[in-house]
Structure 1
Amino acid sequence: MDVLAVVGVLVAASAAGWVVAGPLRGGRAEADDAVHQGQLEDLEAAKEARYREIREAEMDYRTGKLSEEDYKAIDRQLRAEAVELLRRLDALGASGD
């Protein structure tokens, strides 16, 4: 009888622990979602910054602040970075809106 009582108490304690830890288990998924959303926002901000830098480089070239050779090198680098950011956004499942 004593063994059955001990087993019963252990089962009851395990069940209670499982119920009490339920919200904590759900919080992990929410934390993962928040991290994912943060990564998407960071990548979106970086993408917009690259687009802005591309436009600024084009304006500098058109106003004569950059030579054609310098403009092409800068433009090539910025566009490569933008493409990489787009790939990373696509890999994270960004909607692209």
Structure 2
Amino acid sequence: MALNPTMIGAIAVNIDTLAVVACVALTAAVLIFVFMIQPDPADSAPHRSHLDQLMERRDIIYDNLRDLKFEYRTGKFAEEDYEQMKQTLEAEAALVLAEIERVTESPGMLPRSDAAVRGRAVPAGPRAGN
């Protein structure tokens, strides 16, 4: 069966139409990907562990205490205000330090003593009331 010119023209039109549809679909997919999908901000931020966050918070509290002491010495705060703010910051620092200690006390992070390795108990020492 020989191809006549109208059949060749119809096949060419179908291939051209298919190419245009494919290009439009690809363009639409790219535009949707670029403009519609919102990246998660946490993906671009560096990943920090809970311990890193606690250490940063501890450093901030220490800086605040240092600044508070400096400003008190320069006369910006009354003694009562200084003591109140100092106690608040120290209490917050104690909470953060306790949390740091709790986080770092996991079994994998503590070195074992020789007695624990051998399976012996360490003597407790003198007791109060004896």
Unaligned runs of 5+ in 2: 1-46, 110-130
When you count helix as a share of all residues, which structure comes out higher? 1
Q: Name the TM-score, length of structure 2 as normaliser.
A: 0.44
Identical residues among aligned pairs (%):
30
Are positions 1:49 and 2:48 aligned together? Answer: no
One-letter code of the match for 2:64? Answer: E
State the match for 2:91 in structure 1: 80
One-letter code of the match for 2:81? Answer: D
Cα distance in 1, alignment partners of residues 53 and 101 from structure 2: 14
Cα distance in 2, alignment partners of residues 55 and 39 from structure 1: 24
Aligned residues: 60
Are positions 1:64 and 2:75 aligned together? Answer: yes
The alpha-carbon deviation at position 74 of structure 1 amounts to 0.3
One-letter code of the match for 1:41? Answer: D
Higher relative contact order (CA 8 A, sep 6+): 1
SS in 1 for 2:49: helix
SS in 1 for 2:77: coil
Once superposed, what is the RMSD of the aligned Cα atoms? Answer: 1.8
Q: Name the TM-score, length of structure 1 as normaliser.
A: 0.58
Instruction: Output one character per residue of 1:75-96: Cα deviation in whole Å (capped at 9) or x when no partner.
Output: 000000001000000000178x
The structure with the largest alpha-carbon Rg is: 2
State the match for 1:14 in structure 2: none
